[in-house]
Structures are given as C-alpha cells and as structure tokens.
C-alpha cells in the first residue's frame, strides 16, 4: 500500500480530462476537466441533476465513461479498476450501512473486506473517534440519521484510503450532525487524505474546500479557490447592517451544539 | 479468479447468515405454506386420492420439498433488491473485493436457509407418519438433487433481484414456481389427468425431480428418470447463471 502511494505520488490525486457520459439521449457530462491535488479538499458544486453523482460514480469505477480519461491515485479508472478501488472509499448520498447488523459489526465487516489485520481493534478505534462506542453494540436500525452518517463515513476511513469521495455527505442531516461531519472531513484532510466532496450547499463548500468547482449542465464552468471565485464578482462595498442572529445561530445555541462540537 | 474470492465470499456470507439468524421468520414463512399444504392434502384430500402408495404422506413429501424451495428462493431476490436500494451494494462494488462474491454470498445463504427449511418440513412429515427405508447413500443423493435444484432456482431469483423496479416485482416471480408442483406428479399421479394437461405435467421439470426423489425414498430403482431430473436442474442452473451474470455485468459497468 505504502509503495503504491509513493509510486503514484508525482501525479495529482485525481485527474479528469474530457470526460463525457450520456444516458440514452441525455448528455449528463459534456467534457469535464478537473485536477485535485493530494491532501486537499475539493468541492464540486452543482444543482440537482448537474452530473455530480455521475462523475463520482465514474471515478469510483461504478460506471463507465463514454469518452475522456480519469485517473485516481495514478490509476486509470477504466483500465485499472481494481487498483482504483484499492485507493478509494465512497460514501454515497444515502448512508450505505447494514441496518440489521450492529454498528461494530458493520465496521468489522468492512475491515475484513479490505483484508486488514485485527478488524476488531480497527472497529473499536473508529467507534471511539466518531462517538459511537455506546451505540456500537446496537443494531443500526435504531440509529438516528446523524449516527448513521457518522458510521457511514467511519466505514469509509477503514484502511486509510488515500482518496475519499463524499457524495452530498450532509444531505438530510440536522445542523448538529452536519457540524460533526464537517469536523470529520477537516480531520481527514489534515491527515493527508484527498477528499472530493459534492454538495448543493454553498456554505459547506465555503467552510471546507481548498478549491471549488461548479458543475453546470455537464461542464465545469468555474474552478478556483474561494478567494478567486469571489473576485469574479464586483468588489465588495461596505454597508452597515444590523446583524440579526440567524435561525441557525438560535437553533445551535439553544440545543448546545457549539459546546458539544468543542468537546470533540 | 480473484485471490480474495473465498475470503470475501465468506465475510459476506456471514453477513447475510446473520440477517437470517436475526429474522428467523424467513425460515418459518418459507416452511409454513408447504406444511399447510401437506396437512391439507394428507388429512383432507388425501383419503380420496388413489396413488397406489400405502401412505399418502410418503407419496406427497417430495413435491412438498420442491414447493418449499420454490417459496424460499424468493428471499434471495428480496435481499438482493434491498442491498441495491440501500446503497450497500454500491459500497461493496467500490471496495477492493472480488466483485462476484457479492452474488455468491447471497446464493450460498439461500442454500443454507432452504436446507434448514427442508429439515423443518421433513421433521413435520415424520410426525405425520412419513417413513423411508432409504440408506445413507439414498439420502445423500436426495440431498444432492435438492442442493442442485436450490442452486438452480436461486440463480434464477438473482435475475429479478438485480433488475426489479419494486420489492413486489422482486419476489412476485416465485409464485408460478410455487404452483408448478400442482400440475405434476407431486400430488396425484399424472395418469389421472386429461391429455394436454398430462402432457405438460409429464414433461415439466417438477415431475422428473419428484419421481426421482420418491423412488429414492421408497428404494425403487430410479432408472433413467434421475438423469432427466439432473439434466433439468443443471440446465436451469446454467441458463439462470448466464442471465444473472449478464444482468450483473450491466449493473456494474
């Protein structure tokens, strides 16, 4: 694993050139180019149906592109699928966890499928990191949406894959759970993992991403840092407005989410 | 073949066996309808059916076994469909595992679950007076035929499991299979049926399989009939496996 990572370390973690994909007559991707640097967080913004999920599915070898090339961790997604799968983890839009198993059993199963030693210890460590130790012995069917998402993301971390795809990781989560997920993503990137995340929430991209690309009608129309993107608009003018707390501020203060967030 | 095939299949098999252990009702519901038919036919209709056999339950059991398997395999379609819906299927497919192990785990789970259901059915039959003089070899051949038949029908069930659009669609395909034994030698001898029905009954797979099992239980010579039965099982297995693999490739390409 280590040799593989260092072998490929000269290339970008993700490199996509001229990628096209159609479903029957519908052109979903019309020539997408992106490059994601190692250890960075790259946000792919776009409205529903913009093709974000299609792109992620192609990069994680679940779907074949019609044209163009894509490499992940230096491996071609079309020709070296097995090597790509060895290098990635995918967290899809819906928490892909086994409801009938317990949280711990889910983690142990994934650790075994990644052919790792001591799956039990790996599971216990992740349960601790994601504050699921107490819930670990319960069936996932009893978990809240936020707990499922946390379990889902922790399953993606098993085996420390160098590249992680998060497809709308906070969709359907309450504000507290969203902050927890953000925290987890930041920690990942701090540890050197490359994260490609798709989102519809502009705020999420603003908070997390080193670079942001906007996918619109099958093409990347903008790609840059937040500062670069902001320069696309006329310079900010100074206005004085009374700042009211947003509903989110009120909600988070009342339920004490800020405090919990600090504890973690 | 991927070097992790057996290990990965083992991990995924233990996952779906846990599903069964935690909802044993799937075993019960699989066995309950065939048992109900067995009670109905032995204690209500059986007295009026002339089979030329001294005990009707002895005559009936092979057909009931086929019915048990036909109703049990629909759970494979159901579980596979649920995996696809829930997204865990995609998680497995994006992981460095032997990809075909996802299907094999479901197929082997079906085999285990159906064998347990069959044991339950045979125990009830024993209580109802079923007796067989078959020796160990006879029982082994019976088990072999049932395993082959279960594998064949399970691979058939994989196809709707992968392609269905709804849960109902995924499991509805099993109904015709469950009722196929009625138009066969399973409940009454085919000689009593009118021409075209008899022709169908004598040339469909259930009759040859039921006759082979019955001959093994009653220690009669199985003759060439057992080869017809095995050919049906192997034929269905090969064709179903082919179409299931095709549906699977489409799903993951």
Confirm or reject contact between B8 and chain A (CB < 8 A): yes
Reduced to 3 states, what is the DSSP secondary structure of residue A66? coil
Question: In DSSP terms, which residues pair with A34 in a beta bridge?
Answer: A16
Burial A94-111 (b: 16+ CB within 10 A, else e): bbbbbbbbbbbbbbbbbb
**A–B CB contacts, 8 A cutoff, strictly below:** 66
Residue B156's pLDDT is 93
| pLDDT bracket for residue A5 (50, 70, 90) | very low
CATH architecture of the domain with residue range A2-263: 3-Layer(aba) Sandwich (3.40)
Would the CB atoms of A96 and B23 count as touching at under 8 Å? no
Residue B245's pLDDT is 92
Measured from the Cβ of residue B14, the count of other Cβ atoms closer than 10 Å reads 15
The pLDDT of residue B159 is above 90: yes
Q: Which of A46-55, A82-91, B50-59 has the lowest mean pLDDT?
A: B50-59
For residue B8, the chain A residue with the least C-alpha distance is A113
Q: Which of A98-107, A169-178, B46-55, B147-156 has the lowest mean pLDDT?
A: B46-55
Q: Which of A29, A12, A114 is nearest to A68 (CA)?
A: A29
Q: Are A194 and A13 in contact (CB under 8 A)?
A: yes
Would the CB atoms of B94 and A155 count as touching at under 8 Å? no
Domain boundaries defined on chain B: 5-252
H/E segment holding residue A88:
strand A88-91
H/E segment holding residue A178:
helix A175-190
Higher pLDDT, B12 or A187: B12
Confirm or reject contact between B86 and chain A (CB < 8 A): yes
**Which DSSP string corresponds to B28-94?**
HHHHHHHHHHHHHIIIIIGGG---SSS-HHHHHHHHHHHHHHHHHTHHHHHHHHHHHHHTHHHHHHT
ipTM over 0.90: no
The pLDDT of residue B29 is above 50: yes
Would the CB atoms of B94 and A63 count as touching at under 8 Å? no
The pLDDT of residue A194 is above 90: yes
Residue A84's pLDDT is 93
Beta-strand pair A163-167/A194-199 = parallel
Smallest Cβ–Cβ distance between A100 and the set B4, B7, B18 belongs to B18
Q: Which residues of A touch B (CB under 8 A)?
A: 60-64, 82, 85-86, 88-90, 92-101, 105, 109-110, 112-115, 139, 155
| pLDDT bracket for residue A224 (50, 70, 90) | confident
| pLDDT bracket for residue A261 (50, 70, 90) | very low
Mean pLDDT of chain A: 84
What is the side-by-side strand order in the sheet with A26-36? Answer: A26-36, A14-23, A67-72, A75-76
What pTM, to 2 d.p., does this model score?
0.84
Residue A11's pLDDT is 59
Residue B64's pLDDT is 92
Task: Tell me what percent of the residues of chain B surpass a pLDDT of 70.
Answer: 99
For residue A64, the 8-state DSSP code is -
The pLDDT of residue A4 is above 60: no
Residues A208-232, mean pLDDT to the nearest whole number: 85
Residue A257's pLDDT is 55
Residue A145's pLDDT is 83
* pLDDT tens sequence across B32-48: 888 888 888 888 887 77
- Whole-angstrom Cα Rg for chain A: 19
Residue B145's pLDDT is 93
H/E segment holding residue A31:
strand A26-36
For residue B23, the chain A residue with the least C-alpha distance is A100
In Å, how far are A56, A250, A253 from A246, measured between CA atoms? 33, 6, 11
Q: Which of A93-107, A162-176, A179-193, A233-247 has the lowest mean pLDDT?
A: A233-247
Q: What residues contact B109, with CB distance under 8 A and at least 6 apart?
A: B13, B16, B17, B19, B20, B76, B79
For residue B5, the chain A residue with the least C-alpha distance is A113
Q: How far apart are CA B190 and CA B197, in angstroms?
A: 9
Angle between the N-to-C axes of helices A103-113 and B5-22, in degrees from 0 to 180, rounded to the nearest 10: 160
In Å, how far are A101, A112, A159, B202 from A123, measured between CA atoms? 13, 10, 11, 57
Task: Tell me what percent of the residues of chain A surpass a pLDDT of 90.
Answer: 39
Residues A63-91, mean pLDDT to the nearest whole number: 91
Most confident of A56-60, B51-55, B188-192: A56-60
Q: How far apart are CA A21 and CA A32, in angstroms?
A: 10
Residues B68-90, mean pLDDT to the nearest whole number: 90
Q: Are A26 and A46 in contact (CB under 8 A)?
A: no
Cα dihedral B41, B46, B51, B54 sign: positive
| pLDDT bracket for residue B224 (50, 70, 90) | confident
Task: Tell me what percent of the residues of chain B surpass a pLDDT of 90.
Answer: 42
Q: How far apart are CA B77 and CA B163, in angstroms?
A: 10
Determine the distance in angstroms separating the CA of B173 from the nearest CA of chain A, rounded to an integer. 25
Residue B1's pLDDT is 58
Determine the distance in angstroms separating the CA of A123 from the nearest CA of chain B, rounded to an integer. 15
For residue A92, the chain B residue with the least C-alpha distance is B87
């Amino acid at each position: 694993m280590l040799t593989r990572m260092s072998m490929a370390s000269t290339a970008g973690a993700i490199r996509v050139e001229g990628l096209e994909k159609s479903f029957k007559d519908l052109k979903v991707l019309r020539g997408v180019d992106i490059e994601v640097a190692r250890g960075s967080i790259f946000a792919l913004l776009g409205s529903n149906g913009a093709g974000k999920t299609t792109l992620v599915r192609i990069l994680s070898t679940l779907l074949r592109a019609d044209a163009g090339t894509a490499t992940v961790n230096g491996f071609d997604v079309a020709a070296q699928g097995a090597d790509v799968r060895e290098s990635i983890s995918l967290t899809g839009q819906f928490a892909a966890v086994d409801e009938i198993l317990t949280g711990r059993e889910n983690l142990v199963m994934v650790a075994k499928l990644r052919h790792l030693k001591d799956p039990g210890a790996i599971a216990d460590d992740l349960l601790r990191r994601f504050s699921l130790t107490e819930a670990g012995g319960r069936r996932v069917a009893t978990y809240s949406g936020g707990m499922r998402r946390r379990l889902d993301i922790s399953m993606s971390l098993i085996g420390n894959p160098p590249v992680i795809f998060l497809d709308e990781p906070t969709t359907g989560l309450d504000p507290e759970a969203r902050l927890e997920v953000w925290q987890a993503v930041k920690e990942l990137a701090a540890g050197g993992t490359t994260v490609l995340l798709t989102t519809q929430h502009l705020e999420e991209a603003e908070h997390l991403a080193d670079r942001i690309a906007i996918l619109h009608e099958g093409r990347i129309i903008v790609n840059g840092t937040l500062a670069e993107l902001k320069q696309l608009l006329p310079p900010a003018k100074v206005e004085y407005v009374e700042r009211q707390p947003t509903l989110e501020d009120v909600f988070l203060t009342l339920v004490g989410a800020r405090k919990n967030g600090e504890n973690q | 073949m991927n070097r992790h095939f057996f290990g990965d299949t083992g991990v995924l098999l233990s996952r779906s066996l846990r599903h069964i252990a935690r909802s044993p009702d799937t075993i019960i519901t699989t066995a309950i309808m065939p048992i109900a038919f067995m009670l109905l036919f032995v204690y209500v209709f059986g007295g009026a059916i002339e089979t030329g056999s001294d005990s009707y339950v002895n005559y009936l059991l092979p057909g009931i076994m086929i019915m048990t398997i036909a109703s049990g395999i629909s759970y494979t379609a159901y579980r596979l469909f649920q995996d696809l819906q829930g997204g865990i299927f995609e998680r497995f497919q994006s992981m460095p595992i032997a990809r075909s192990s996802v299907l094999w785990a479901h197929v082997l789970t079906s085999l285990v679950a159906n064998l347990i259901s069959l044991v339950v059915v045979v125990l009830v039959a024993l209580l109802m007076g079923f007796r067989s003089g078959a020796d160990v070899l006879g029982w082994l051949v019976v088990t072999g035929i049932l395993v082959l038949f279960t594998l064949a029908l399970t691979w058939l069930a994989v196809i709707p499991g992968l392609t269905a659009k709804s849960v109902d669609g995924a499991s509805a395909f099993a109904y015709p299979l469950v009722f196929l034994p009625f138009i066969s030698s399973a409940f009454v001898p085919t000689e009593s049926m009118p021409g075209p029905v008899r022709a169908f009954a004598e040339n469909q797979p259930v009759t040859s399989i039921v006759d082979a099992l019955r001959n093994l239980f009653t220690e009669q010579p199985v003759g060439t009939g057992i080869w017809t039965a095995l050919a049906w099982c192997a034929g269905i297995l090969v064709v179903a496996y082919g179409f299931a693999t095709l549906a699977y490739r489409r799903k993951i390409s």
